[in-house]
Amino acid sequence: MRLSALARPSLYLLSACAVAGLHAPVSSQPTAMAQSASQDVRPVQFSPSIPAERGVLVVPLASMDELPSRTAGLTASEQSAIARALETSEFTFAKRQQLSLRGIGEWHQILIVGLGDDAAQSDYQMVGAVTGRALLDEAESVTVMASGLTGEAAAAFATGMGLGDYRSDLYRAREEQVGQRGGVTIVSDAGPVARSIYENRGSAIIAAMNWTRDISNEPGNAVYPESFVERARTALSGLRGVRVEVLDENDMGELGMGAILGVGRGSERPPRMMIVRYNGVGPSAERPVVLVGKGITFDTGGISIKPRQNMENMRMDMSGAASVVGTVLALARSQAPVNVVAVAALAENMPDGRAIRPGDVLQAMNGTTIQVISTDAEGRLVLADAFSWIERNLDPAAVVDVATLTGSVRGALSDDYAGLFSRHDALAGQLVAAGETAGEPLWRLPIHESYAEDMRSTIADLRNSSSGSGGGAGTAAYFLGEFLSRDIPWAHLDIANMAWSGANAWKPDGSTGFAVRLLDQFVREFQPVETVE
């Protein structure tokens, strides 16, 4: 880091001169648009016995051997009919496999879902999500036969059903459903344990995931830096231990945040830096875990404009910010005993006449100067100022940033893992373990010292895009690492390949809410990293 660069304020003035007075009011707010549909999650109850109402029956199974105990309480004829259907079908009990049966007893439908071999907690949740999505348009009440499952597994299944209930067609006209959908009854001999886990944590995860996916799926004329802040405030309102601070363009100008202000210069909608603190352990708390999110609410690429194809999906470029705020929402709703701060770096990247140009030089809050090679490498710019603010104002136990940062990570990892970059082995290990538990896997990639040469500029301290022909995800991570002292434990999660997808068995088209469950698990189990490797 080059703190001596603080003596060069003139470059900040070049990059963000009089930003506060340049933004005209936005004349076309989405006030005429219909409000997005609220997520309708079925109410859940836990019971030791099958309710009298016969709607949809769900039977999760890992093998035929489980059928007698899992369906205890059904009539002998119902059990026999299910067994015959399984024996004569091609059902293999693989994870997420489904078999729908009708005409058995008084049940409207019987849905058999496969658990596979050696199911982990994340598998139970995902099978639940597949079940919830399969029954999304089913108005009948749902009974889930969970006898023999642990309380943890039953709660995970119920949580997954809530995740599978999610809809992304937020502005689509739909006929009003006649009456409300029926609730879910989890039939379990571990009901008290399952209920406690679901009510204290599972329901919080559902609410946080729904908020994260909603705000990521919203169009760019509905969600922009200012409205992101207001929606987050509303979601966090009234939660004990939560404090929200917001830096506007005037505040950021006074602090010298030339990088994020530079990104936002081409938009009528000014940037924001949102800081959400949740302290669930009292005044003697350990230093906070800090989560940082890239929040580009719409990314045209700026002057280095993106191709037309699929640009409408670039409303998802704020997924990192959505996920870190969503994580704090989950932790605060469940009153987790943790100390955590989320920082959302919010801007809109547009090609206005005031927009930054390739070749321009910006100065970040910590004084480091940055030559802009591509205005489409803007996420690392907003995060540079977020990192600088964190180092100056917080004493973090660890910093983890989440960003849809590079297309390169997809080339390296497809859609199987998010990219993990860190110089701190102990921190990386905790994140990998949390990802495995939560079902959101990470794969560690290198931050090679050779990237320093790739990011060297002839005119400034750094360039914002590599001069080399490869290593795009790694050089981006290297750039970010230059804005935190090396003795602060830090990890970067590049989720550009995981944050968004088409519809599949567990979710509709759009946001996946990736990293909320992972970070919730990570923060809860975080152990201070004493030694910097």
Catalytically active residues are 306, 380
CA torsion sign, 303 to 308 to 309 to 310?
A: positive
Cα distance between residue 11 and residue 21, in whole Å = 18
Backbone angles phi, psi at 463, to 5 degrees: -110, 155
Establish how many alpha carbons lie within 13 A of residue 10's alpha carbon, considering only the half-sphere containing its beta carbon: 0
According to DSSP, the residues that pair with 87 across neighbouring strands are none
According to DSSP, the residues that pair with 273 across neighbouring strands are 247, 345
> Who contacts 446 (Cβ-Cβ below 8 Å, separation ≥6)?
421, 474
Decide: 500 and 203 in contact? Cβ < 8 Å: no
In three-state secondary structure terms, 46 is strand
Decide: 210 and 41 in contact? Cβ < 8 Å: yes
Q: What is the 3-state secondary structure (H, E, C) of 264-295?
A: HCCCCCCCEEEEEEEECCCCCCCCCEEEEEEE
Backbone angles phi, psi at 168, to 5 degrees: -110, 0
Cα distance between residue 131 and residue 145, in whole Å = 13
Q: List the 44-47 sheet strands across, edge first.
A: 44-47, 184-187, 142-145, 56-61, 109-114, 98-101
